[in-house]
Amino acid sequence: MTAQPKDHTSPVADVEAQIRGPRPMSLHLANSLMIWREAGAGARRLRAGTGMWHLGVRKNLDALKRLMRSEGDWQRFFTAVEKKASGRADTMLAGIAKYLAHPYRRPESQAVEAVRIGNCRLLDFGAPQSGNKGKPILLVPSLINPHYVLDLMPGRSLVEFLKGNGYRPYLVHWYEPGEEELGFGIGDYVMKRLKPFLDHVAGVAGAPVPVLGYCMGGTLTTALAARAGDMVSKLALVAAPWDFDTKKPHAGKKYAPVMAEALAKLPANMPLPVDAVQTFFTSVDPTLNDRKFRKFAAMDPSSEAAEFFVALETWVNTGAPLPRRVADEAMVGWYRDNTTGREEWYVDGAPVRLEDVTCPVWIAAPEEDRLVPQESAYSMLKGLPHATVYDPGAGHIGMMVGSKARTGLWEPLLKWLEADHAA
């Protein structure tokens, strides 16, 4: 990524500067502090043979227990556990403070605005003045977090990689919903935003273009390809959920009824607050935040690892409220009622059917993704029997920006994009 210093006088910079998480801060702190506060009681339960111990730790705990041979050992052990638990809580808090004070700010992407419709923008990373004569490709991120996970920072940018390999990336920047978007359903985003953006990119190319969708963006681009297939040459889906009624239970399905209940209590037309979605992410693993901030506390602040942490953590905690109809469709329609998998998700007045997607399709979905189960993404094979499936071998976000992203996702994607898929 060729980057420039961020303009902190812009409203966007002001907003993003205030959004440093972890969000919701109160929930993260409550979880982490409770975990360490209760550790001493946990140690006593270990001795008493009570408590809720998962099978995965029981053998090690039993071995640990056998080390204690006297009352004195146990009492010193309890004291040490409580002291060290308090220390871990302090380290976690120090990690958060260090993150909040870290001077790193992600450089703005070097792109020009090609099209703006409502509050949504199409960013062109290879405008003519840059001399880029690459092949146009449309990249569509999720509506949940910001677009720039696809161009996070130098060396961790799919956009940069594609640009360096003969492509001219166009990236959708959903931005905060404006007055018009606040009344949108998901289908409106597809037909009134993505479709005109695709028109523009295909117009520049003078031919159908490849389209990539990441996460929820993949589900949107599936509908786009079904509705505007004549302009899509290839469809690459990265961790794109489709069938939510998987055999294996998943976090989203469990959270859907909670979200449905919460949505029903919100005032009519009130967008879904960012923190409601962030609460879901937090609950997938309530220990993650503590572990990563304690690790960050020990990092050299000037290291690339520390800057990557700050960039990614800020991205994770940044988001826009979801328009109410979008939230209803996604949380209730998709996750609870599986409208997509049952082909009852309506876009432009008709259900989205996979048989209407006629271009070559690549479905990348990692087995270890806890947000979008691989089974949900791979379920598209039922309607797209000729699609290619691929496991990037990393987590939901790690596969896109982690240390193995280049070999695990970007290079296999490029190879597929470059292949001749003619039957």
Partner 1 sequence: MVFGALPQGKLCICTKKMTLRQMQASYSEFVMRDEDIEQAADLFLTLWQENIRLWATEKDLLPHAELAALLEVPLERAPSVGKDP
By the criterion CB under 8 A, which residues form the site for partner 1?
27, 30-31, 34-36, 38-39, 41-46, 48-61, 63-64, 67-70, 72-73, 76-77, 80-81, 83-85, 88, 249-251, 253-255, 258, 279-280, 283-288, 290-291, 370
The half-sphere exposure of 343 on its side-chain side, counting CA atoms within 13 A, is: 11
In whole angstroms, the minimum distance from the beta carbon of 57 to partner 1 comes to 5
Q: CB-wise, 36 or 125, nearer to partner 1?
A: 36
Q: What letter would DSSP give residue 361?
A: E
What radius of gyration do the chain's Cα atoms show? 23
The half-sphere exposure of 265 on its side-chain side, counting CA atoms within 13 A, is: 8
In whole angstroms, the minimum distance from the beta carbon of 21 to partner 1 comes to 16
Instruction: Give kind and range of the element (H or E) at residue 61.
Output: helix 55-67
**DSSP string covering 282-330, please?**
HHH-TTHHHHHHHHHHTS-TTSHHHHHHHHHHHHHT---PBPHHHHIII
Q: CB-wise, 55 or 268, nearer to partner 1?
A: 55
In whole angstroms, the minimum distance from the beta carbon of 78 to partner 1 comes to 9
In whole angstroms, the minimum distance from the beta carbon of 287 to partner 1 comes to 5
In whole angstroms, the minimum distance from the beta carbon of 51 to partner 1 comes to 5
Please, which residues have CB within 8 angstroms of residue 216's CB and are 6 or more apart in sequence? 142, 143, 144, 240, 241, 330
In whole angstroms, the minimum distance from the beta carbon of 7 to partner 1 comes to 38
Residues in the chain: 423
Q: CB-wise, 46 or 144, nearer to partner 1?
A: 46
Q: CB-wise, 307 or 369, nearer to partner 1?
A: 369
Q: CB-wise, 13 or 27, nearer to partner 1?
A: 27
For residue 415, the tally of other CB atoms under 10 A from its CB is 10
Task: Give the pairing type, strands 209-214 and 135-140.
Answer: parallel
User: 30: helix, coil or strand?
Assistant: helix
Q: CB-wise, 80 or 350, nearer to partner 1?
A: 80
Tokens of 405: 């992203």
Q: What letter would DSSP give residue 156?
A: B
**DSSP string covering 122-143, please?**
EEESS-GGGT--PEEEEEE--S
User: 182: helix, coil or strand?
Assistant: helix
Q: CB-wise, 168 or 250, nearer to partner 1?
A: 250
In whole angstroms, the minimum distance from the beta carbon of 279 to partner 1 comes to 8
Q: CB-wise, 221 or 282, nearer to partner 1?
A: 282
In whole angstroms, the minimum distance from the beta carbon of 338 to partner 1 comes to 16
